[in-house]
Structure 1
Amino acid sequence: MTFVQIVDCKTDRVDDVNRLLDQWVEATQGKRTATHSIVGKDRKDAHHVVEIVEFPSYEEAMRNSNLPETNRIFEEMVALCDAPPTFTDLDVVRDEQLNKATARRFFEMASKGELARLGDLLTDDYHDHDATNEEDVRGVDGARVEIEMYRNAFRGFKFTVEDQLAEGDKVITRWTWRGTHSGEFLGIAPTKKKVEMTGMTIHRMHEGKIQEGWWNFDFLGALRQVGAVNM
């Protein structure tokens, strides 16, 4: 079971605490068992600092605590605090994957044509990378125009999310897309043919929204299905 430790302290030497934690990361390279660490400063009390450290299990956390480097850094941290830090030990019983939900919602919006609400999911400076475009698509309006182009060309335009992986600020979505070629597409007259295409998209998140996207999909296969190429 994942284990999280919350370390609370009061100090007016926040920058020194940050430098000390950098030293701990360097000193324990290849030894520490912590998988994720966040340091936050209380908005209402600039002297209140909280560190949240994640471990695979309580046992791994104890191994980490017993490292000589951890003990040394902790002693130096205590000296920087107004009082000894307090610790809260938590067994994780629920770990929400909110970034995955946001990415999934993007594909649902595109499929349903809820394009007026794209700004709820994309940052204003959204940057889209797609090798099939001569220039990268940028901004919420740019993404909306791109999706509308496909929706106008393919009736029944729909993404099906097959799988998702998330790590840090990135989400990888493996998807299948389907539609019927009912409108002009890249100069190709409607063929009324059903088209199916598979692909993967990496989304990078920022403050709960999608800020960047990288697309990799079987575009050649789609062109073959509408008769644009004979390979």
Structure 2
Amino acid sequence: MTFVQLIDCRTSRFDEMNRLMDRWVEQTKGKRTATHDIIGSDRSDASHFIEIVEFPSYEEAMRNSHLPETDRIFQEMVALCDETPTFTDLDVVRDEQLYDASARRFFETLGGKGELPPLNDLLVEDYHDHDPSNPQDAIGMDAIRRELEMWRSAFDFSFTIEDQVAQGDRVCTRWTWNGTHKGDFLGIAATGKKVSMTGTTVQRFSAEGKIVEGWWQYDRLGLMAQLGALEGLER
């Protein structure tokens, strides 16, 4: 079970404490068991800080605590505090990756039946889309809706999410796209063929949880081959 430790402290010497933490990260490289570390500053009290440290389990946290580097730097940290820091030990009972869920909902929405719904709850108004298959990036809600409508008028399709990795404000989604060619696509009249392709999309999220930017990589050449567009070029 994931374990989180909250360290609550007050200090007027945060810059020194920050450098101390940099030293700990360097000295424990390859030995520490902590997987994530966040330090927050209290907006109403400039001397109040809370550090949140995540571990794979309580046992791994104890291993981390027993490192000589951890013990030494902890003593130095206490000396920088205005008062003795307090510790809260938490077993994580729910861990919701909200950006992941929003990314998944984005792909479900693209492949939904009927008219394309408003995307304001998923994308910022000046969303920036990078697709190397297009001569220009699509920037703004109107531009991305035109791009999506082009795909939706040409295919009935859906995405299968194969894998997702989240880090910071970015989510990388590996997907499989399956569609039926029902309308004109880049000058190719509807063929009725069932087609598929794989791809990866990296999305950057705002603090409010909306998608700000997207980068696409997918097998468009393979899709064109399935539609018969490359038959005259084959030898």
The TM-score, its normalising length taken from structure 1, stands at 0.87
Whole-Å Cα distance in 1 between the matches of residues 66 and 198 of structure 2? 48
Match of 1:203 in 2: 203
Aligned residue number for residue 214 of structure 2: 213
Aligned to 1:101: 101
Q: Specify the alignment match of 1:160 in structure 2.
A: 160
Kindly provide the amino acid, as one letter, of the partner of residue 177 in structure 1: W
Q: Does 1:228 align with 2:223?
A: no
Deviations along 1:159-203, whole A, 9 cap, x unmatched?
233433334443332323233323221122233333322322222
Shift of 1:125: 4.8
Please give the root-mean-square deviation of Cα atoms over the aligned residues, in Å: 2.2
Offset at residue 88 of structure 1 (A): 0.5
Listed as ranges, the matches of 1:84-95 within 5 Å are 84-95=84-95
1:50 and 2:47 are equivalent in the alignment: no
Q: After the TM superposition, which of the residue ranges 183-192 and 26-35 deviates more from structure 2?
A: 183-192
Give the alignment of 1:1-231 within 5 angstroms.
1-112=1-112, 115=116, 117-154=118-155, 156-207=156-207, 208-230=209-231, 231=234
Question: SS in structure 2 opposite 1:117?
Answer: coil
Cα displacement (A) at 1:29 = 1.8
Structure 1 residues 146, 35: closer, same or farther in 2, change over 3 A? Answer: same
Amino acid at match of 2:134: N
| Residue identity matched to 1:212 | E
- 1:81-132: CA deviation from partner (whole Å, max 9, x where unpaired): 2211000111122211212101101111212267553232224453333221
Which runs of 5 or more structure 1 residues have no equivalent in the other structure? none
Deviates more, 1:97-106 or 1:214-223: 214-223
Relative to structure 1, the CA distance from residue 64 to residue 136 in structure 2 (aligned partners, 3 Å threshold; closer, same or farther) is: same
User: Displacement, 1:211?
Assistant: 2.9
1:10 & 1:60 partners in 2: Cα distance? 27
% identity of equivalent residues = 66
State the one-letter code of the partner of 1:138.
I
Mapped partners of 1:36, 1:118: distance in 2: 32
Alignment TM-score, normalising by the size of structure 2: 0.86
In the alignment, the residues of structure 2 paired with residue 191 and residue 40 of structure 1 have an alpha-carbon distance, to the nearest angstrom, of 56
1:13–1:125 Cα change, 3 Å: farther
| Aligned partner of residue 111 in structure 2, secondary structure | helix
Give the Cα–Cα distance (whole angstroms) in 1 for the partners of residues 138 and 179 of structure 2: 22
**Alpha-carbon distance in 2 for matches of 1:140, 1:195:** 28
**7-16 or 98-107: bigger deviation:** 7-16
CA distance in 1, matches of 2:25, 2:107: 38
d(CA) in 1 for partners of 2:35, 2:166: 15
